[in-house]
Amino acid sequence: MSVKTMETQEVIELLEKVAGFDRPAGNDRVKTIIHRVMHDVFQIIEDLDITPEEFWSAVYYINELGKNGEAALLAPGLGMDKYLDIRMDAEDEQAGLAGGTPRTIEGPLYVAGAPMSEGFARLDDGTDTGAEVMLLKGVVTDENNRPLANAIVDVWHADSKGAYSYFDPSQSEYNLRRRIKTDAEGRYLAQSIIPSGYGCPPEGSTQALLTQLGRHGQRPAHIHFFISAPGHKHLTTQINLAGDKYTYDDFAFATRDELVVEARPVTHSAQGERHGVTGPVTEVEFNIQLVSTDRQDRQAMHQRQRVMA
């Protein structure tokens, strides 16, 4: 069966009524968006000859997705977060704000309000005794490689099982989440543990769809950052550890070549010892370059719903 009804007056008028075009009340932006979304959904049904069975399985899939709280997990899996990044990169290019360390997606697992430290912080609570000790370090500079003191490095990552505090209630509050203010030389230093990669819940809605696409739901071991400094563009980014099976095969499409970092085991670290970290550690170095801007709207991170624990 292949019928064409999209051009009929009946469907055109239906879409206008669906979007509330015939009523003055409501929000014009929402009307415009919903009109377009429903038009395109109808068009997909026509073009792909979607059966009622397929349609209703999609509706109940969305119910399940919401029940499982996975909408913001499916989004990166379908490349939506990456697409917003592609647009922001292009906007930066147009506005003369390109350059510096590249952005990559935030993901759904940030929690605001992590404890603030000056120069150094220990991120882990010490309970993951089997984990490899990590020393994460770097310098925040401007585009001329001048160090930026008092930049705020807001860092978060998973534990050795790939789980994030808050979302994993077995972890302590703000475990593996800290804000570190850079010192006079622009440096930040963190003691933590080497994270494991993340895997989508195997029985969840996201993995169910990915499986239909012949895809996995794995991310490589990675560390998230928000970096901000007055007079500079806010940066949302991550590093992906080199040598992970998924470093270049991330289900969330967050890997960028400039953001792949080697984890180097060393027998001892002078920098670590100054903060009581003795014995062998694995060093991860990530230097960050920010782009200067007067624009207040670009110095702040964009608004979205976030956990405010």
Q: Which residues lie near Fe ion (CB under 5 A)? A: 107
Q: Give the C-alpha separation, 59 to 42, whole Å.
A: 14
Residues forming contacts to ligand MBD in the complex (CB under 6 A) are: 73, 76, 105, 107-109, 198, 219, 252, 254
Give CA 27 to chain center in angstroms. Answer: 29
* CB proximity list for 280: less than 8 A, separation 6 or greater: 133, 265, 266, 267, 268
Q: To the nearest whole angstrom, how small is the minimum distance from the Cβ of residue 242 to ligand MBD?
A: 17
Residue 293 burial class via C-beta count within 10 angstroms: exposed 0-12, middle 13-18, buried 19 and up: middle
Nearer to ligand MBD, 120 or 251 (CB): 251
Contacted by 195, from Fe ion, ligand MBD, none: CB < 5 to 8 Å by type = none
Nearer of residues 195 and 272 to Fe ion, judged by Cβ: 195
CB of residue 198 to ligand MBD, shortest distance in Å: 4
Residue whose CB is less far from ligand MBD, 73 or 259: 73
Q: How far is the CB of 76 from ligand MBD (least distance, A)?
A: 4
* Nearest residue to Fe ion on Cβ basis: 107
Q: Is 208 helix (H, G, I), strand (E, B) or coil?
A: helix
* Residue with smaller CB distance to ligand MBD, 187 or 234: 234
The Cα-based distances of 47 to 9, 16, 209 in angstroms read 18, 20, 21
Residue 215 backbone phi and psi in degrees, to 5: -115, 160
178 binds, among Fe ion, ligand MBD, none (CB under 5 to 8 A by kind): none
Comparison of 148 and 252: residue with beta carbon closer to Fe ion: 252
